[in-house]
Amino acid sequence: MKKKVIIDCDPGMDDSAAIILALKSPELDVQAITTVAGNYPIDITSSNARKVLELLGRTDIPVARGCGHPLVRPAPNDPFTHGRDGQGENFLPAPTMPLADEHAVDLIIRTARANPGELWLLCLAPMTNLALALRKEPELTELLAGVIAISGAFGLNEYAFLNGTGDNPQSEWNVYFDPEAAKVVYESGVDLVALGLDVATHFDVNFSQQDLDDFENSPNPECRFLRQAIRFNNGRGFQSYCTIIDCMAVGYAVDPSLVETMTGKVGVETRGELTLGMTVLDRRHHHTWSHLPDVRIGKSADYGRFLALLKERFLA
């Protein structure tokens, strides 16, 4: 049976790539896309999500606009850029499909109620929508099959530190943008798999020149979209890995054996000057803080299979 998913996102070029990967994966049934402010303001992320659907001719999938601001604090500036259009300067045409007539939070709750125990939320962005949905409908923890999130950095390896995406030394962008929302979600008891920088931003995981040539020469518009986004990143000194970060959550939804996970006690820092948004894994043998929630986190991935899956699906 296909896995029913909602993609909660802030496209973003890697969100855009993740939406494409999901739509081209027969294992997944994409019920809706919900948008949130994060990489870009809500008007742009809501427009970009629809641009991707129109690129793939999938305007049957509703896009519901969500929260335009973090729960508590002002939106921070992103030290990373996804280009003038937020999609690696692909400059896709302005969307013509309308937004859904429903707020993202309500759409998530309604769809979860209609599919109890069957709906997965793929959270590729700050967790503002999900946190509010959990506050509005606490039973969401039971109604959802689970949440697969690109979220946090757990200090399991050097990638957790060397490639931090929030604007301080110890944070990952999605949590840094709205740490209070992440705290609500982490502490909610929802079945959460958090794929953090440790597993989703290996900067040595990149497409080969042959892969890039294959994308370039493909008749599929989504391949040329990906190729242009990678070219944009290359022009700024980044390799292709940062074009596909959010794809890891979709890859895990398609095939959980792609990622090895572990369970540990994790707290979300909401006050630190140098560490705002840090996801702290309590790894102590003794005196562990038992009040911290247990969270399943990504430890390592089969990157060869991950890249092969991406390539196969984009070229299909």
| Binding-site ranges for Ca ion (CB under 5 A) | 10, 12, 15, 124-125, 246
Nearer to Ca ion (CB atom), residue 10 or residue 222: 10
d(CA 194, CA 171): 14
Shortest Cβ distance from residue 12 to Ca ion (Å)?
4
Shortest Cβ distance from residue 126 to Ca ion (Å)?
8
Shortest Cβ distance from residue 9 to Ca ion (Å)?
6
Shortest Cβ distance from residue 233 to Ca ion (Å)?
15
Nearer to Ca ion (CB atom), residue 143 or residue 153: 153
Nearer to Ca ion (CB atom), residue 143 or residue 171: 171
Nearer to Ca ion (CB atom), residue 175 or residue 307: 175
Shortest Cβ distance from residue 38 to Ca ion (Å)?
6
Locate 316 and state its tokens.
């299909």
d(CA 240, CA 238): 7
Helices and strands (DSSP H and E) totals, the chain:
13, 9
Nearer to Ca ion (CB atom), residue 246 or residue 264: 246
d(CA 198, CA 244): 15
Shortest Cβ distance from residue 301 to Ca ion (Å)?
18
DSSP 105-134: HHHHHHHHHHSTTTEEEEE-S-SHHHHHHH
Shortest Cβ distance from residue 18 to Ca ion (Å)?
8
Rg of the chain in Å (alpha carbons): 18
Nearer to Ca ion (CB atom), residue 38 or residue 95: 38
Nearer to Ca ion (CB atom), residue 15 or residue 198: 15
**122 near 7, Cβ under 8 Å?**
yes
Shortest Cβ distance from residue 250 to Ca ion (Å)?
12
Residues 6+ apart with CB under 8 A from 32: 6, 7, 61, 62, 63, 64, 100, 107, 111
- Kind and range of the H or E run holding 12: none
DSSP state of 90: -
Max Cα–Cα distance, the chain, nearest Å: 58
Counting beta carbons within 10 angstroms of the beta carbon of residue 299, is it exposed (0 to 12), middle (13 to 18) or buried (19 or more)?
A: middle
How many Cα neighbours within 13 Å face the side chain of 123?
A: 34
Nearer to Ca ion (CB atom), residue 120 or residue 143: 120
Locate 274 and state its tokens.
């140098």
